[in-house]
Amino acid sequence: MRPLSRWLAGALAASSAAGAAQAHVMGPAEAAAPPGWTWDLSVTAPLALALALFGAGWLRLRARSRRGGGKLERRALLFIAGWSSLALALVSPLHQAGERAFSAHMAEHETMMLLAAPLLVLSGPLAIMLWAFPAPARVALGRIGQARAAAAAWRAITRPVTATLVQAAALWAWHAPALFDLALGDPAWHVVQHLCFLVSALLFWTAMLQPGRGDKGVAVLCLFATSVVSGALGALMAFSESPWYAAYAQLGVQPFGLTPAEDQQVAGLLMWIPGGLVHIGAALALIGSVLRAGIGRAADAR
């Protein structure tokens, strides 16, 4: 059931992100108004559904569980933190601010990819959400998840190297000026962009935080590589003296009095520094877990 549960978790979170991409970069007159909250049902309905399913499943599991209550509570806290981060990116004024400033748009993407995605992966929500359904439905979904083809496909896509390449390709491709302007100008392509960012992040953090046997060392190297790859893209933005994206350049002065080029430089710094710190921090944490496991085995052997 685990491969299916993880895949469904990513799909559910991604569906929440899709609706948020339906907005477009505002014109100069619209940009003068303060950003507001996004109450589009295509955003709020999936978020509400995810929360309701998790809550129902968690309550049923908690009532059946005599042990492991602490683990369930930790998973609930992780889910709420991840869900709240996703809602912050998609519903709060941060989303509308991203329609008029590239730096805010970058903050939205970084919140989804560096905060919401790893927290959701750590919470393993679908394993809990499945308990919101009747027993026959749980059994049917479990059979699908246990199918050999489904399990093999999941293992392949969540290998550290594969997941790293998928995320790196999504980042670099969608930040190319032609594709980014396409997404900003067309709601359908904006949906695709957000889906690519969030799904690739969910796959990446699954590979990094739940590596298969023998993959921890590879995961560490992939985390360091990702800090370089994403940092290089951020550095190119930060040091560029001209704006890359026509949709933002045509707005003129951005919030806080920044020019489009300065706004882009701030966005580059957001990708470069916080992103690099998150990836390096995760790599060091994974190294620490490997060292602790090795020390424990050595102590047991004595």
Neighbouring CB atoms inside 10 A of 276's CB total: 18
Give the pLDDT confidence of 236-293 residue by residue, as tens digits: 999 998 999 988 888 766 667 788 899 999 999 999 999 999 999 999 999 998 888 7
What pTM does this model have? 0.84
Q: Specify the length of the chain in residues.
A: 302
pLDDT of residue 23: 44
| Domain boundaries, given as residue ranges, for the chain | 2-301
Residue 4 has pLDDT above 50, yes or no: no
Which residues, at least 6 apart from 301, have a Cβ–Cβ distance to it below 8 Å? Answer: none
Interior/surface letters 238-265, b for 16+ CB within 10 angstroms, e for the rest: beeeebbbebbbebeebeeebebbbbbb
Give the start-end residues of each E strand in the chain. none
Matching residue, tokens 């970058």: 106
Give the pLDDT confidence of 6-21 residue by residue, as tens digits: 433 443 444 444 443 3
Q: What is the DSSP string of 197-218?
A: HHHHHHHHHHHHHSPPTT-HHH
Residue 139 has pLDDT above 60, yes or no: yes
pLDDT of residue 68: 57
% the chain with pLDDT above 90: 52
Residue 26 has pLDDT above 70, yes or no: no
- Is there a contact between 20 and 89 (Cβ–Cβ < 8 Å)? yes
- Is there a contact between 180 and 249 (Cβ–Cβ < 8 Å)? no
CA-closest candidate to residue 286, choices 50, 60, 99, 118: 118
The CA angle 226-247-115, to the nearest 5 degrees, is 35
pLDDT of residue 17: 40
CA end-to-end distance (rounded Å), the chain: 38
Lowest mean pLDDT across 80-84, 133-137, 214-218:
214-218
Residue 302 has pLDDT above 90, yes or no: no
Residue 186 has pLDDT above 70, yes or no: yes
Residue 165 has pLDDT above 60, yes or no: yes
- Is there a contact between 131 and 60 (Cβ–Cβ < 8 Å)? yes
Give the pLDDT confidence of 29-54 residue by residue, as tens digits: 555 567 788 888 878 898 999 999 99
pLDDT of residue 28: 52
How high does pLDDT run on average in the chain?
84
pLDDT of residue 300: 59
Q: Which residue has the higher pLDDT, 23 or 264?
A: 264
For the chain, what is the largest distance between any 2 Cα atoms, rounded to a whole number of angstroms? 73
pLDDT of residue 3: 46
pLDDT band, residue 152 (cuts 50/70/90): confident
Lowest mean pLDDT across 71-80, 98-107, 134-143, 210-219:
210-219
pLDDT band, residue 22 (cuts 50/70/90): very low
Q: Is 101 left (phi over 0), alpha (psi -120 to 50) or beta?
A: beta
Neighbouring CB atoms inside 10 A of 104's CB total: 23
